[in-house]
Structure 1
Amino acid sequence: MTTIENRLVGTDLGLTSYADVPTSDTPQKAKDFTSDQEVRWCPGCGDYVILATVRSFLPELGLRRENLMFVSGIGCSSRFPYYLDAYGIHSIHGRAPAIATGLAVTRPDLSVWVVTGDGDALSIGGNHLIHALRRNVNMTILLFNNRIYGLTKGQYSPTSQVGMVTKSTPMGSIDHPFNTLSLALGAEATFAARALDSDRKGLTEVLRAAAEHRGTSFVEILQDCPIFNDGSFDVLRKDDAEQRLIRLVHGAPIRFGADGEFCVVRKGFGLDIAATAEVAESDIVVHDAYTDDPDYAHALSRLSDQDLRHVLTGIFRSVRRTTYDDAARAQLQQANAQRPVGPDASQALQALLNGRETWTVG
């Protein structure tokens, strides 16, 4: 463990993401977070219910609206900041995590959120996303995944399934899509979760945990695009959805189905689906979202497939690690404490300018 990490353990690792953010003096309601802007998404878009859920959830935090910052990139989801009565930036395509990193490092009094889409975050913004995750910057990233480019009118995206016919793949996509949770966990995300747009209860629970987590919280939200990928997640909303949806609850055995007739068991170095009646109770995996074992969360992410035969929702992983912004501020404090003052400062500057890292070029 480094000197910086030693200084931070027991401080930042026990705090919520918004420990330094000023709280409101009065109770808040969803309408307090509703801006005067007309919401402009296509009728039936999943963004509407996500917006309503976020507006209803934010009062729980009790934070001053002036200290909430929502940063978005480019895409349908990126209109989100306009519709919240809080501060926001409609930024550059794929660069929202980079801008949010600057805010989180320089302004610990802000609760920083990133709103992005599968195209914005995983294509042009893929590099920025993975580095925000590995650095563990204190922010919450909401990735709206409709498996299509909506704003630019229906091209396939990095999460579109193989064979999908779009304007840019008239014969069907030949690209293998990202498994978003596997990607996040592979980038060392300390918090990774998934929710379905229409599952308001489940989405709220995930948002609550993500907001509490100090570090980068990554939340994938599966949502419908009624124009260019209509009904893409309908199988997760139908009567037999219980045969497909696997809801993760920390400390509970992972069972699913209308009567819990299916379960998750260990198989070799990974996990698999089994019939509950055919395995011993002790063989059923009990979900542990807080384990330090990254392989377990990754194995969970691999159970979800692009054909939606099985889709896991809930919190895959939530662990503590020093945040990039806390470490950066600790370094600045250390540098300031060691900075010479008075006559010594001038001598220190000359020593720096004439130090061993200078050369004479003849």
Structure 2
Amino acid sequence: MSNAVPVQLSAKDFKSDQEVRWCPGCGDYAILAAMQTFLPELGIPRERTVFVSGIGCSSRFPYYLNTYGMHSIHGRAPAIATGLSVSRPDLTVWVVTGDGDALSIGGNHLIHALRRNVNIKILLFNNKIYGLTKGQYSPTSEIGKVTKSTPTGSSDAPFNPISLALGAEASFVARTIDSDRKHLQSVLRQAAEHQGSAFVEIYQNCNIFNDGAFEVLKDPETRDAYLIRLEHGQPITFGKDDSHVVTHPAGSFGLAVGEAGKVDASEVLTHDAHAEDPAYAFALSRLAGPDLRHTPVGVFRSVRRPSYDELVRNQLDAAKAKAGEPEADLAALLNSGDTWTIL
């Protein structure tokens, strides 16, 4: 979060003069509206807010927000955002990316930003397809997915973005859904308040090339049986009238789902988003099957550890103090230690 003096803003202040150009019905509209409504809550001046994106449908975000922003290059948004965050601690830096942009060409940039715990907020719009390039399979598409680039079905096993983020030791990891504005804004609020890297996967519908990919999580007839809503400090229950629970069976490394009436109350897990060991959150991330049954949403992990920005600035302060001057002499620095003269 920025240390700027809070200012009074409205959603209208964050709407740019650019025509919003996504396909009619795209889930990106819902995410944009939620973000424009949410940002005023932070009380941060627009000139202290930056959105950095890569390439893809989601990466048009900076055009539509009346803040500073950069539409950068494919997969490299976390690297650019890292430079901004380290050099300008007064800024609030967001990264907007997609499953193709972040998990294919941008994979290394993503995991290292999370590993370093850079103070940036990464929003990954996951629609399980390449939308901008017209419907090829992506790193999150399911096995057997028939697309223009896989006419007989994909042979690739998909990434689980939440598992990937937790494996990279991300200090804040969450998942939400484009059409659930209340839940989406709640997760965004918690991500904004987090000091360090915050990774938020947003299930987002591409109604042109992968329509209905998450419909079972949205349809009132099915969502209660499929969705597991995580709340820190609360028992993990779901289904109509909390008919099902999540447990940790004795002798098992993972978690399991059971019927509430057949499980002792003492065996029902209480969600602990602040657990230091990511193994528990990782086990939660593995609950959902290929059909999306038992999909957790909410904050999987939120822990405090020094951010990359803090550590780098501490190093700079220590180096300046050691030099004995507010600003060390650059020429002296370049000629210190081992140097060579090339003839």
Q: Which amino acid aligns with 2:265?
A: E
56, 60, 65: which one pairs with 1:79? 60
Instruction: Provide Cα deviations, 1:193-215, integer angstroms capped at 9, x if missing partner.
Output: 00011111111110000000000
Task: For structure 1, list consecutive stretches of 5 or more residues without a partner in the other structure.
Answer: 1-16
Instruction: Provide Cα deviations, 1:173-222, integer angstroms capped at 9, x if missing partner.
Output: 11000011000000000000000111111111100000000000000000
229, 245, 248: which one pairs with 1:263? 245
Q: Which amino acid aligns with 1:213?
A: H
* CA shift in 2, pair 1:310/1:339, >3 Å: same
Matching of residue 190 in structure 1 with residue 198 in structure 2: no
* CA shift in 2, pair 1:257/1:336, >3 Å: same
Provide the residue aligned with 2:258 in structure 1: 274
After TM superposition, give the deviation of residue 358 of structure 1 in Å. 4.8
Query: What are the equivalent positions in structure 2 for 1:1-362 lying under 5 Å apart?
Result: 17-18=1-2, 20=3, 22-25=4-7, 27-238=8-219, 239-267=221-249, 268-340=252-324, 349=332, 353=335, 355=337, 357-358=338-339
Q: Aligned equivalents of 2:256 and 2:24: distance in 1?
A: 39
* CA shift in 2, pair 1:51/1:359, >3 Å: closer
After TM superposition, give the deviation of residue 360 of structure 1 in Å. 8.6
Q: Aligned equivalents of 2:54 and 2:335: distance in 1?
A: 41
Q: Aligned equivalents of 2:14 and 2:278: distance in 1?
A: 36
Q: Which amino acid aligns with 1:75?
A: G
Task: For structure 2, list consecutive stretches of 5 or more residues without a partner in the other structure.
Answer: none
Q: Aligned equivalents of 2:165 and 2:324: distance in 1?
A: 43
After TM superposition, give the deviation of residue 237 of structure 1 in Å. 1.2
Q: Aligned equivalents of 2:230 and 2:262: distance in 1?
A: 21
* CA shift in 2, pair 1:345/1:40, >3 Å: closer
After TM superposition, give the deviation of residue 307 of structure 1 in Å. 1.7
Q: Aligned equivalents of 1:219 and 1:228: distance in 2?
A: 23
Provide the residue aligned with 1:10 in structure 2: none
After TM superposition, give the deviation of residue 23 of structure 1 in Å. 3.1
Q: Does the residue aligned with 1:270 lie in a helix, a strand or coil?
A: coil
After TM superposition, give the deviation of residue 341 of structure 1 in Å. 5.5
Q: Aligned equivalents of 1:71 and 1:261: distance in 2?
A: 42
* CA shift in 2, pair 1:336/1:175, >3 Å: same
Q: Aligned equivalents of 1:341 and 1:330: distance in 2?
A: 16
Q: Aligned equivalents of 2:313 and 2:324: distance in 1?
A: 19
Q: Does the residue aligned with 1:313 lie in a helix, a strand or coil?
A: strand
Pairwise CA RMSD of aligned residues? 1.9
After TM superposition, give the deviation of residue 306 of structure 1 in Å. 2.7
Q: Does the residue aligned with 1:137 lie in a helix, a strand or coil?
A: coil
Q: Aligned equivalents of 1:200 and 1:97: distance in 2?
A: 25
Q: Does the residue aligned with 1:259 lie in a helix, a strand or coil?
A: helix
2:175–2:202 CA contact under 8 A, matched in 1: yes
Q: Does the residue aligned with 1:171 lie in a helix, a strand or coil?
A: coil
After TM superposition, give the deviation of residue 309 of structure 1 in Å. 1.5
Q: Which amino acid aligns with 2:86?
A: V
* CA shift in 2, pair 1:349/1:214, >3 Å: same
Q: Which amino acid aligns with 2:233?
A: G
Q: Aligned equivalents of 1:51 and 1:270: distance in 2?
A: 36
Q: Does the residue aligned with 2:155 lie in a helix, a strand or coil?
A: coil
Q: Aligned equivalents of 1:170 and 1:77: distance in 2?
A: 25
Q: Which amino acid aligns with 1:82?
A: Y
TM-score, structure 1 normalization:
0.90
After TM superposition, give the deviation of residue 359 of structure 1 in Å. 6.6
Q: Aligned equivalents of 1:66 and 1:246: distance in 2?
A: 38
2:16–2:65 CA contact under 8 A, matched in 1: yes
Q: Aligned equivalents of 1:96 and 1:349: distance in 2?
A: 34
Q: Does the residue aligned with 2:240 lie in a helix, a strand or coil?
A: coil
2:6–2:42 CA contact under 8 A, matched in 1: no
Q: Which runs of 4+ in 1 moved over 6 A?
A: 359-362
TM-score, structure 2 normalization:
0.95
After TM superposition, give the deviation of residue 337 of structure 1 in Å. 1.1
After TM superposition, give the deviation of residue 67 of structure 1 in Å. 0.5
